[in-house]
Amino acid sequence: MDNLNLISNFAEFKELKNIDKSTMIGVLEDVFRHALQKQYETDENFDVIINPEKGDLEIWRNRTVVADDEVENPNMQISVSEAKKIDPTYEVGDEYADEIKLNSFGRRTVLSLRQNLASRILDLEKANLYEKYSEKVGEIITGEVYQVWKKEVMVLDDEENELLLPKSEQIPSDFFRKGDTIRAIVSRVEMINNTPKIILSRTANEFLERLFEQEVPEIFDGLITIKKIVRIPGERAKVAVESYDDRIDPVGACVGVKGSRIYSVVKELRNENIDVVNYTTNTQLMIQRALNPAKISTITIDEESKTASVYLKPDQVSLAIGKGGLNIRLAKMLTGYDVDVYREIEEEDVDLKEFADEIEPWIIEALKGIGCDTAKSVIALPVDELARRADLEEDTAKEVVAILRAEFE
């Protein structure tokens, strides 16, 4: 067994594991010096010469030539008569160097060397991977789906490192098969049992932000700033943007001509609706923009409780609330205010609060939740639709309508 048998694949390790030359040499030297210490009790008088590119390794032991009767430590000294057998020119006091072959270590030591080396390289690879992806947190990476499980998807990057995309970090409509190309953001890197675990995300706000940076040069260049992003992944998102150049329309730049720029973002997010709004420090105006596409009549703001009462014409209430209440939920998240939507009371109409002594409070709240906060807005709906939308029993809906109709008769 010679040196080459042990280290012939060092060059392959360097290429596959992304370990630089100086680090590899340091690890190899450390491993072999550890073996020398066990074998000879010291490694001080040994030179370990490594060329990982070719897989060459040499170990030379340096000993002092002493008189025949003065050899106290055979590892550090050699008798002059023994040295002269190799080269007659040696004299007492000279330095004598001889090469140590691996087979002199013994089979068990060589096996231990192999295991130690493999373990050190594996640890080094894990440390490099952890460091590499710790620096990539918040960046988009592209990988290939390798394995799909119920709770997560394994993704391989271009160096075949294993990354994980948990179900909780996937857009609800995401569906992947083995071999699919996937884009996601590096969410976090954890070290579990000395092994790095790289978690990806497609639901993080930062993923949407990075996508905008890729599609909108003005954002990448810093001319437009994304002030805040709120989203319900796969459903709807609102993005507040601000321009530092008065000549640039931030909303127009983000949307692009005929929606060309935002289309790629929407497609990547599985057709998630994205509303881009101009950011402003004017609270009233910001709430108004956040509730787009609804047209607001008046707004009353309470700064202490961070609440806003918004009044709209009857045909605008459903627009403000949005499908499944998404629009108003996102408006609250974007502005930081608890927004309550009210229908403007028409002449001769009566607010539902006036019927609190006849209609139970939870029913009134249910009706308000679907945008019906006046008597006429409730009466205007067919009983079956009212029951379905407000999640009421049909008999209860009939009773409520009867009470309200009586007010106008």
Residue-range domains of the chain with CATH: 3-131 (3.30.1480.10), 136-203 (2.40.50.140), 352-408 (1.10.150)
- Cβ-count burial of 404 within 10 angstroms (0-12 exposed, 13-18 middle, 19+ buried)? buried
Return d(Cα 393, Cα 194) in angstroms, integer: 58
pLDDT at 2: 46
Per the structure block, which two tokens stand in for 166? Answer: 């948990």
pLDDT at 55: 61
Cβ neighbours around 290 below 10 Å, total: 25
pLDDT tens digit string along 170-224? 999 999 999 999 999 999 999 998 899 999 999 999 999 999 999 999 999 999 9
Whether residue 374 is predicted with pLDDT greater than 60 in this model: the reply is yes
pLDDT tens digit string along 224-282? 999 999 999 999 999 999 998 889 999 999 999 999 999 999 999 999 999 999 999 99
Using an 8 Å Cβ cutoff, are 241 and 276 in contact?
Answer: yes
- Dihedral angle over CA of 265, 268, 272, 274, nearest 10: -10
Return d(Cα 329, Cα 346) in angstroms, integer: 26
pLDDT tens digit string along 379-406? 888 889 888 888 899 899 999 999 888 8
Using an 8 Å Cβ cutoff, are 21 and 36 in contact?
Answer: no
Return d(Cα 135, Cα 25) in angstroms, integer: 25
pLDDT mean across residues, the chain: 87
Q: Which helix (H) or strand (E) holds 154?
A: strand 152-156
Query: Cα separations (Å) of 282 from 34, 36, 244, 289?
Result: 69, 74, 17, 11
